[in-house]
Amino acid sequence: MYQLKKWTLQSQTSTGIVLEVEGRHSLQIDILEERMARVQLLKDGSYRLDRSWTVAPKGDAPLEGRNRASLDGFSCPAFTCETADDTVTLATGCLKVVVRQPLGLVWFGRSSASDEWQQIAEDRPTGAYMLGRKDHAHSHFLRRAKTDRFYGLGEKTGELERSGRRFEMRNLDAMGYNASSTDPLYKHVPFTITRLESGLSYSLFYDNLAPCWFDLGNELDNYHQPFRSYRAEDGDLDYYFALGDSVLELTKTHTQLTGGTAFLPRWSLGYSGSTMSYTDAPNAQEQLHGFVRLIKEHDIPCDSFQLSSGYTSIGPKRYVFNWNTDKVPDAKGMAKVFADAGLELIANIKPCLLQDHPRYGEVDNLGLFIKDSDTGSAERSVFWDDEGSHLDFTNPETQTWWRDNVKTALLDYGINSTWNDNNEYEIWDRQAQCDGFGDPIDINLIRPVQPLLMTRASNDAQVAFAPEKRAYLISRSGCPGIQRYAQTWSGDNRTNWNSLKYNIRMGLGMSLSGLYNVGHDVGGFSGDRPDPELFVRWVQNGIFHPRFTIHSWNDDQTVNEPWMYPEVTAHIRNAINLRYTLLPYLYTLLYKAVVDDEPMIRPTFLDHEHDERCYAPTDDFFLGRDMLVANVVEEGAKTRTLYLPDNGVGYYDFWSGEYYHGGQEVTVPVALGSIPLFVKAGTVLTLSPGVKRSGSVEGQLRQIVIYPLHGEASCTFEAQAYEDDVDNVDALSGNHRLTTFKVTQTATTLDLDWQHDGQFDPALEGCKVSVATRDSRLLSVSGAPYKTGTLLPF
């Protein structure tokens, strides 16, 4: 590679400028929004790949990819352009970029509260851009300050703040990974947020899905001042630069840029059972029926079961869309057993056909596999104890074949949802050819697009089969945009306390990167089975994540089940009951993730950037804006110390109603059944006590709990709760109910009022109202005195 230095202004466009670089390349800068710009380097004036599947400002990208040159969906506001001898300056009212010689960009921003320009980022003066002479490798270097804080990069291990580490984007099936150190993992998310000492932040999203590396202070070089770097072995240098007053603003901006969040069914927030062991067993159907019986016997709330791939086996291997009728002699009957119990089934499917798959020849003859770069025949890669060939989802005929088989092998059997798994596409023939919808593409350029398009094809099959329902899908691998279709999780974690602790940070890292609907394999997937204490603590943590699934493949063939240790089953049941009690709050958070791009799980600093203590490594996090979760994640703990962020109003203990001022450290005693949980003052929580399914809410009771503003004489505060008909596709078109609560507080009274909006009638039994703490004020509802325990229409 060589450094790009010399440039001249070639032209000014309606959205920015075009520079000629080194007499042969083009660098384009476009102003997309008041706070967002785009920089593209075109080697010899041409794109390496002229399409993108990740950028989707209108909610989705075309199946064949979005034209990379397109600015559709952006407002492209007015800007100024000033030229001098060696600089060009573009500026909106909030964002300014100066191009200087040798080639380098300097970025300035204004906060919403100030007219002063602040320098927010600067390309490295001693070489900012490098480009391969004979290939498309490229690099981008920026200066790095000691006070910079780095977040993002999606699913990464270790601390949430990424300074001092080097990360690789290369999708791998990293089973049993170390949650504090292993890299790379399953997903490709080339997005960072940098928070500056000044309080402003900026983000960089590199729209390139070739393997790449981010160095955030690990590398030192005597010839350069401290720097950070992005290096890619192929593809286009095409990045989006955004300014934010906060980290939260940039997370939401990135989520919008990549297409928003799928609105999955309400039942997806319930407990989902799963294990490899049931479907690996010779009597799989009997084992699966046993799960239905045992959740009822042990009084465990549950909504779904994830059917692991053993149902497809022939001998020890797995064959997608095949049914092992010895293990599962009556698949339709099995699905009916689950459906009659109110449980959804979610079937594991894989995008690679082993070389001895009964249908391999059929698929090969149809030309649906990715092609070997030398022979043009189907590529062969290691996959699940054998070799196989990967389906090419950039081939329209593959899309059709896949949708047809999802229907005939699963949906027609009564299995309504798909678990898109083992879709990392570990094909190391870099030039293996993908159809590219008629314009062939090297796999190295679009490896993470394959799981994205696989999941989209599964989604399309489910939508076509049941158009009146919102589909539910899971995908393990992917890239920005996967959240448009599916829920995801942190892959095949190792069973130990380290995973419990660092999975929290992994989930928060995904959430900051626009993947909101996430979770972990509760109890640990691989290795030793969890002991009773670890299992209890993991379940107590898992209930606060959007995806709550107990999943395992224990070395000793045991199964992680809620009742696996009778001596702690009561603690497990209580934790899962709490999850179901919180469902109205959780579903409202999912709704806000979809319509307002609000993260569901949030690091403590996200809403408290002014509080320096919140940037320290912590196991605490927020569920929504109002609930602070402080799970016990240390073995043998008798106390739990946590820091209550300075929110200006304080917190209430969820269990005791005791009030605490914010901005202080507190220590609470804990026993094995303890789940430390705090609620922000000035909140109204809507709860659903006694619920066993997260499906239809008809006939359910709602408990409305008021958390007063402590010490305030006269004030008001509001909250919302969302309901719909579980999975109706017209929910966001008005067939829902959004309730806005308003509390008017005086020195002597608390008055609760509410207003419903939307066309949906949940047909609830009614509601009861309570105050979280002992309070001598008179409680009234809509101005009428309320006696605690009275059932009201709602």
Read off the pLDDT of residues 528-550 as tens digits, 9 standing for 90 and up: 999 999 999 999 999 999 999 99
| Residue 775, in any domain of the structure | yes
Higher-pLDDT residue of 19, 775: 19
780 plus 673 within the same structural domain? no
Measured from the Cβ of residue 733, the count of other Cβ atoms closer than 10 Å reads 10
The domain tally of the chain equals: 3
pLDDT of residue 774: 87
385: confidence class by pLDDT, cuts 50, 70, 90? confident
Nearest C-alpha neighbor of 191 from the set 141, 232, 250, 127:
250
pLDDT of residue 775: 87
pLDDT of residue 277: 95
CATH for 68: 2.60.40.1760
Return the C-alpha torsion angle 152, 156, 161, 165, nearest 10.
-110
Last residue of a domain, one of 663, 678, 693: 678
| Residue 739, in any domain of the structure | yes
251 plus 116 within the same structural domain? yes
Q: How far apart are CA 618 and CA 579, in angstroms?
A: 23
Token readout for 249 is 């603003």
pLDDT of residue 81: 98
| Residue 122, in any domain of the structure | yes
Nearest C-alpha neighbor of 257 from the set 43, 513, 463:
513
**Strands (E) located in 528-687:** 547-550, 553-554, 601-602, 621-623, 627-629, 639-644, 651-653, 659-660, 664-669, 677-680, 683-687
SS3 335: helix
614 plus 715 within the same structural domain? no
pLDDT of residue 604: 98
pLDDT of residue 653: 98
506 φ, ψ (degrees, to nearest 5): -60, -40
User: Under 8 Å CB-to-CB from 85, ≥6 apart: which residues?
Assistant: none
Number of residues written out for the chain: 794
Q: How far apart are CA 279 and CA 313, in angstroms?
A: 9
654 plus 696 within the same structural domain? no
Residues 383 and 317: beta-carbon distance below 8 Å:
no
Has residue 523 got a pLDDT over 80?
Answer: yes
DSSP H or E run through 275: strand 272-275
What are the tens digits of pLDDT across the range 456-498? 999 999 999 999 999 999 999 999 999 999 999 999 999 999 9
Nearest C-alpha neighbor of 620 from the set 612, 611, 629:
629
| Residue 275, in any domain of the structure | no
Has residue 113 got a pLDDT over 90?
Answer: no
Has residue 525 got a pLDDT over 90?
Answer: yes
What are the tens digits of pLDDT across the range 403-444? 999 999 999 999 999 999 999 999 999 999 999 999 999 999
692 plus 674 within the same structural domain? no
| Residue 326, in any domain of the structure | no
Residues 480 and 54: beta-carbon distance below 8 Å:
yes
What are the tens digits of pLDDT across the range 87-106? 999 999 999 999 999 999 99
The pLDDT > 90 percentage for the chain reads 98
748 plus 616 within the same structural domain? no
Residues 157 and 181: beta-carbon distance below 8 Å:
yes
| Residue 238, in any domain of the structure | yes
CATH for 697: 2.60.40.1180
Parent domain of 707: 683-785
Token readout for 208 is 């390139």
What are the tens digits of pLDDT across the range 585-624? 999 999 999 999 999 999 999 999 999 999 999 999 999 9
335 φ, ψ (degrees, to nearest 5): -60, -35
Token readout for 712 is 């305030």
658 plus 710 within the same structural domain? no
Has residue 350 got a pLDDT over 90?
Answer: yes
pLDDT of residue 189: 98
631 plus 722 within the same structural domain? no
Q: What is the pTM (predicted TM-score) of this model?
A: 0.98
695: confidence class by pLDDT, cuts 50, 70, 90? confident
Nearest C-alpha neighbor of 521 from the set 501, 542, 537:
542
Has residue 396 got a pLDDT over 80?
Answer: yes
Last residue of a domain, one of 678, 701, 734: 678
692 plus 633 within the same structural domain? no
**Strands (E) located in 308-448:** 313-314, 317-318, 344-349, 352-354, 381-383, 386-390, 417-420, 433-434, 441-442
| Residue 391, in any domain of the structure | no
222 plus 201 within the same structural domain? yes
420 vs 39, 84, 685, CA distance in Å? Answer: 34, 54, 35
The pLDDT > 70 percentage for the chain reads 100
Report how far Cα 608 is from the mean position of its chain's Cα atoms.
21
What are the tens digits of pLDDT across the range 132-186? 999 999 999 999 999 999 999 999 999 999 999 999 999 999 999 999 999 999 9
Nearest C-alpha neighbor of 301 from the set 340, 339, 269:
269
Return the C-alpha torsion angle 353, 355, 358, 364, nearest 10.
70
133 plus 39 within the same structural domain? yes
pLDDT of residue 713: 80
| Residue 48, in any domain of the structure | yes
85: confidence class by pLDDT, cuts 50, 70, 90? confident
Last residue of a domain, one of 257, 274, 307: 257
Nearest C-alpha neighbor of 511 from the set 546, 537, 477, 484:
546
Q: How far apart are CA 65 and CA 695, in angstroms?
A: 36
pLDDT of residue 127: 97
147 plus 233 within the same structural domain? yes
Has residue 712 got a pLDDT over 80?
Answer: no
148 vs 198, 228, 526, CA distance in Å? Answer: 10, 11, 36
What are the tens digits of pLDDT across the range 321-338? 999 999 999 999 999 999
C-alpha dihedral sign at 58, 63, 65, 70: negative
